[in-house]
């Protein structure tokens, strides 16, 4: 957390408050984590975008503010006890919060991602025309890594994290430990379609807010896709697939807690 749906929801909500506004001050006390933010002061926000799990503010003078929310980062319209960065605009103040302090900010020249290696090698966006079945198939068939690990690596497809990998694998009936290169053509097609469907539905629902409530929309409202989870965080609960009598189990794949149904997602 946050993954693509949560970052995209945040971007869509913040964009009207940012477009055309000039950043007056960026205040924080952690220059190692929030790098060169003084370069953004006085710069106008020309647009916003998202790449995978990164939020990008496009500034004048050919600068970009690249923001990774980490595990617990987010924005609020009101002060918060875990505020780490305060963004002052002419008519609005935004508060970047991050209880666990894993998030990072970089102010860089446009496209200069040498400090952000993952951003430079990230795969296509799952809801974009660049994410094609042929390209996805080529990425999977070229590696013996477990399919869950491949999805988390961000190179075959961008923005899929732990929650949405579990949901996509459940929907496509694929065991998370299956070697990617051994997936059949129909399985790859099902997974490709599942990723697009899950991501679209999750964005429309405003992302997922889990029991720790670490992710919330800037207004403080939660996301709602957690009510539609079929696998993630449902350990011991009945599988929701029609006709399946299995129960969701949890195991560790690639160092991450992984939820799946052992009956309809057979190894």
179 annotated active-site: no
Please give the Cα distance from 7 to 71 (Å, whole number): 11
pLDDT of amino acid 150: 98
Q: What is the structure's pLDDT at 24?
A: 98
Question: Is residue 50 flagged as an active site residue?
Answer: no
Q: Output the tens digit of pLDDT for each of the chain's 267 residues.
A: 699 999 999 999 999 999 999 999 999 999 999 999 999 999 999 999 999 999 999 999 999 999 999 999 999 999 999 999 999 999 999 999 999 999 999 999 999 999 998 998 999 999 999 999 999 999 999 999 999 999 999 999 999 999 999 999 999 999 999 999 999 999 999 999 999 999 999 999 999 999 888 899 999 999 999 999 999 999 999 999 999 999 999 999 999 999 999 999 998
First to last CA, the chain: 27
Q: Which listed residue (50, 53, 76, 234) is catalytic?
A: 53
Q: Which of 25, 35, 44, 256 is catalytic?
A: 256
- Is 53 one of the annotated active-site residues of the chain? yes
100 is in an annotated binding site: yes
Q: Provide the pLDDT for residue 263.
A: 98
Tell me whether residue 129 is one of the annotated catalytic residues. no
Instruction: Name the burial class of residue 120, with classes exposed (0-12), middle (13-18) and buried (19+) by CB atoms within 10 angstroms of its CB.
Output: exposed
Give the closest residue to 194 by CA, choosing from 256, 145, 126, 129.
126
52-75 burial, b at 16+ Cβ within 10 Å, e below that, comes to bbbbbbbbeeebbbbbbbbbbbbb
Beta-carbon contacts of residue 102 (< 8 Å; ≥ 6 apart): 70, 71, 72, 73
Compute the distance between CA of residue 60 and CA of residue 116 in angstroms, rounded to an integer.
Answer: 21
Instruction: Give the per-residue SS3 of 9-61.
Output: HHHHHHHHHHCCCECCEEECCCCCCEECHHHHCCCEEEEEEEECCEEEEEECC
97 Rama sector, left if φ>0, alpha if ψ -120 to 50, beta otherwise = beta
Neighbours of 92 (CB within 10 A): 13
**Measured between alpha carbons, how far is residue 138 from residues 52, 174, 196, 224, 240 in Å?**
20, 18, 17, 34, 31
- All structural domains of the chain, each given as residue ranges with its CATH number in brackets, are 4-121 (3.20.190.10), 133-260 (1.10.8.50)
Residue-level pLDDT at 25? 97
- Measured at the alpha carbon of residue 152, what is the angle toward residues 232 and 211, in degrees to the nearest 5? 30
Cβ-proximal residues to 11 (8 Å cutoff; 6+ apart), any chain: 48, 49, 50, 55
Q: Annotated binding residue at 82?
A: yes
């Amino acid at each position: 957390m946050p993954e693509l749906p949560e970052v995209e929801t945040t971007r869509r909500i913040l964009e009207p408050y940012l477009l055309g506004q000039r950043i007056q001050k960026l205040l924080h006390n952690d220059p190692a984590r929030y790098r060169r933010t003084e370069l953004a002061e006085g710069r106008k926000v020309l647009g916003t975008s998202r790449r995978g799990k990164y939020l990008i503010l496009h500034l004048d003078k050919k600068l970009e503010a690249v923001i990774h929310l980490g595990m617990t980062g987010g924005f609020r319209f009101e002060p918060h006890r875990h505020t780490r960065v305060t963004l002052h605009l002419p008519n609005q103040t935004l508060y970047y919060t991050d209880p666990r302090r894993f998030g990072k900010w970089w102010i860089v020249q446009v496209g200069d991602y040498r400090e952000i290696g993952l951003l430079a090698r990230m795969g296509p966006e799952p809801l974009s025309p660049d994410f094609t079945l042929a390209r996805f198939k080529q990425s999977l068939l070229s590696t013996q890594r477990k399919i869950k690990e491949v999805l988390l690596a961000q190179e075959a497809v961008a923005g899929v994290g732990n929650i949405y990998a579990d949901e996509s694998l459940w929907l496509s009936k694929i065991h998370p430990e299956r070697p990617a290169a051994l997936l059949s053509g129909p399985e790859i097609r099902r997974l490709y379609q599942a990723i697009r469907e899950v991501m679209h539905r999750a964005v429309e629902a405003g992302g997922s807010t889990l029991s720790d409530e670490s992710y919330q929309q800037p207004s403080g409202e939660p996301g709602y896709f957690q009510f539609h989870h079929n696998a993630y965080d449902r350990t011991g609960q009945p599988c929701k697939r029609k006709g399946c009598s299995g129960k969701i189990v949890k195991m560790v794949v690639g160092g991450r807690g992984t939820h799946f149904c052992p009956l309809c997602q057979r190894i």
